Structure formats: C-alpha cells, structure tokens
Amino acid sequence: MNSLITPRAAEEITLSTIPELAEEDVPPEQARGRILARPLVADRPLPPYDRVMMDGICCKKRDLEEHTTLAIAGDHPAGAPTPQETPRGHCWEVMTGACLPPDCDTVIPYEQIS
C-alpha cells in the first residue's frame, strides 16, 4: 500500500523539478510566452483616476450620515468626463469603469439600494 506524503514534502518534490531559468533582456514584442524575472512596475498609476468597480450610486459618506434619501444629480457612465462637484444631499448614478467623482468617497451597489 502506498503511504501519503505531507503537503510540505509534496511542495519540495515539485519545486525540486523546476529548472532554474537564466535571465535575459528582450524587447516587449519578443516577450510573449516568457516568464518575468522581476515585477513589472508602471511609471504612473493606471488607471490615472479612482475607478468605480460596480454599477450603483456614489456619494459623500457625510451626506449618507445626514440624509436618509439622496437626490440623483445625474448619471456618470464609463468614459464620461468626471463631474466636478456633487451637490449636498445628492448622489450620482455610476457604472463600472467610470471615474469616481473627486468629492465622492462611497459607492453603493444597486443591489443594496432601496
């Protein structure tokens, strides 16, 4: 009967079979199918704005604490210019990928709105 090995032993066996690869610099167009030797780091934030990750509404947390209902100031789809100011007591309808307006700090998914 075969005996079981520990997960640690299985990991050591697996890692011992992986050959060590040499590093080389190649242009990006020749990098397909290769493994990065070091992390690839962007020289600037991407995307260059806070992006909404779900459909819903965005607002200021302060407004949620002061009001039980918020009026919709408008919609803000992905790719549209960012609204500059959110009126007090208002929110924006936002879609996945849209820029989060700079004065908003809260996104509530549609499923959590009544």
| 3-state class (DSSP) for residue 86 | coil
CA distance 51 to 26: 33
pLDDT tens figures, 50-105: 999 999 999 999 999 998 899 999 999 998 888 789 999 999 999 999 999 999 99
Domains for the chain: give ranges and CATH numbers: 56-112 (2.170.190.11)
The model's pTM? 0.63
